[in-house]
Structure 1
């Protein structure tokens, strides 16, 4: 709900052991969970789901969905 919250999507997911975006990003098997709350600007994300101008709020082994 808040910009600095850290979500644990599924406790059985090995990537949820990472406690911050930096540790998650360092693990090439993991992807970022994007912030989905309100923002003054449109959020942009890299190919692994890490926010470029919005926070990453969790870590998962599930790749982000591609939008076209």
Structure 2
């Protein structure tokens, strides 16, 4: 059984490459499309919306102030 796999390893590698590379390309493109997203809104005060990215940045600033 393994002899057949060993003898046709070149074909098997070609098939695997044809299956793996397109999946990386598709997920990579999806990552670039989601990069421009503002992020999820975690708080809203009146008309002001605070995104997850803004929240994380302000939290990091506060942590840096406390450490200093």
Q: What TM-score comes out, normalization by structure 1 length?
A: 0.21
As a proportion of its length, which structure holds more helix?
Answer: 2
Q: Which of 1 and 2 has higher RCO (CA within 8 Å, sep 6+)?
A: 1
Q: What TM-score comes out, normalization by structure 2 length?
A: 0.21
Q: Highest Rg: 1 or 2? A: 2
